[in-house]
């Protein structure tokens, strides 16, 4: 449940907003990698030996991928996967 109090967001709402922003950023990264590779979702799916529906879920942010899936997507698009840690609150 998300509560909005007199113009300010509750901690829960702010945390959920941050989570959604992370999901949207991840989705943008997927789409940008595919665009740089000049490939369709169907072509990426074939390279990853999965379905176009899975690629669609990845790119829409509806799926939280495993590290293995991230590696496979990166390889399919001709990229290297790089995972970094940032201090909490850094944007």
pTM over cut 0.85: no
Residue 88 has pLDDT above 70, yes or no: yes
Using N-to-C axis directions, what is the helix angle for 67-76 and 41-48, rounded to 10°?
A: 120
Domain that holds residue 46: 40-81
Helix (H, G, I), strand (E, B) or coil at 8: strand
Residue 2 inside a domain? The answer is no
Residue 70 inside a domain? The answer is yes
Residue 14 inside a domain? The answer is no
Residue 15 inside a domain? The answer is no
Residue ranges in 1-91 assigned as alpha helix (H): 11-37, 41-48, 52-60, 67-76
Q: Tens of pLDDT along 32-54?
A: 999 999 999 999 999 999 999 99
Residue 9 has pLDDT above 90, yes or no: no
Q: Specify the pairing of strand 8-9 against strand 4-5.
A: antiparallel
Question: How many domains does the structure of the chain reveal?
Answer: 1
Residue 44 inside a domain? The answer is yes
Residue 47 inside a domain? The answer is yes
């Amino acid at each position: 449940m998300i509560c909005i109090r007199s113009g300010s967001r509750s901690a829960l709402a702010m945390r959920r907003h941050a989570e959604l922003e992370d999901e949207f950023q991840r989705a943008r990264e997927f789409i940008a990698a595919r665009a740089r590779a000049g490939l369709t979702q169907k072509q990426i799916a074939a390279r990853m030996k999965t379905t176009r529906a899975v690629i669609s879920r990845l790119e829409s942010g509806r799926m939280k991928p495993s590290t293995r899936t991230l590696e496979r997507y990166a390889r399919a698009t001709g990229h290297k996967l790089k995972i970094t840690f940032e201090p909490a609150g850094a944007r």
